Amino acid sequence: MVNIKRELLVESLKEVLKRGDIRGILSYKGWEPLWIMSEEELTQVDVTPMSELNLVSIFMNQEKPRLKRGESPDKRKVALTLKGCDSKSLIQLMAENMVERDSLFIIGIGCEGVVSRKKLKEKFGKRELKVERYDDRNYRVVIEGDVEIVPKDEIMNDKCRVCRYPDALIYDLFLGEKRGEQKKEDKFDDVREIESMSLEERREFWQKEFERCIRCYACRNACPLCYCEDCILERLNPTWISRAVESRENLFYHFTRAYHLAGRCVDCGECERVCPMDIPIRLLNRKLIKEVKERYRFEAGLDPKASPLLATYKIEDSEDFIL
Partner 1 sequence: MIVGRLRKEKEKGLYQSIINKGVLIATKRDGKKVVYKEITTPEEIVKVGRRGDDSPAKFVFPQTSTLFKFKLEKGGFKIIPEDKVFPERVIFGVAPCDAQAISILDKVFLEGDFIDQGYKRLRESITIVGIVCNSPLPYCFCTSVGLSPFDQQGMDISTVETDDFIYFKGITDKGIGFLETHSEIIEEVDQNQFEEVYRDVSHSLEMPKVRFDLGKGVEACDRRFQSRVWEKVARICISCGICVYMCPTCQCFDIQDESKGFEGRRFRVWDSCQFPSYTLEASGENPRGQRAKRVRNRVLHKFNYMVKTLGQVGCVGCGRCEEFCPESISIENIIENLIEEVSANE
Interface residues with partner 1 (CB under 8 A)? 30-35, 53, 57-58, 61-63, 118, 122, 125-128, 212, 214-218, 220-222, 234, 236, 239, 242-246, 270, 273-274, 276-278
- List, edge to edge, every strand of the sheet that includes 129-133: 129-133, 138-143, 146-151
Q: How many CA atoms lie less than 13 Å away from 253 in the CB half-sphere?
A: 29
Q: Minimal CA–CA distance to 134: which of 147, 145, 146, 116?
A: 147
Q: Which residues, including other chains, have CB under 8 Å from residue 243's CB and lie 6 or more apart?
A: none
Q: Which is nearer to partner 1, 15 or 278 (CB)?
A: 278
Q: How far is the CB of 121 from partner 1 (least distance, A)?
A: 8
Q: Which is nearer to partner 1, 63 or 189 (CB)?
A: 63
Q: Which is nearer to partner 1, 167 or 267 (CB)?
A: 267
Q: Which is nearer to partner 1, 217 or 296 (CB)?
A: 217
Q: How far is the CB of 187 from partner 1 (least distance, A)?
A: 25
Q: Which is nearer to partner 1, 182 or 239 (CB)?
A: 239
Strands (E), the chain: 22-29, 32-36, 77-82, 104-109, 129-133, 138-143, 146-151, 173-175
Q: How far is the CB of 166 from partner 1 (least distance, A)?
A: 23
Q: Which is nearer to partner 1, 3 or 239 (CB)?
A: 239
Q: Which is nearer to partner 1, 122 or 135 (CB)?
A: 122
161-165, long-range: CB within 8 Å, 24+ apart, which pairs?
162/186, 162/267, 163/84, 163/85, 163/111, 163/113, 165/84, 165/85, 165/87, 165/88, 165/302
Q: How far is the CB of 32 from partner 1 (least distance, A)?
A: 5
Q: How far is the CB of 29 from partner 1 (least distance, A)?
A: 9
- For 69, the 3-state DSSP assignment is coil
Q: Which residues, including other chains, have CB under 8 Å from residue 315's CB and lie 6 or more apart?
A: none
Element (H, E) at 59: helix 55-60
Q: How far is the CB of 58 from partner 1 (least distance, A)?
A: 6
Q: How far is the CB of 253 from partner 1 (least distance, A)?
A: 13
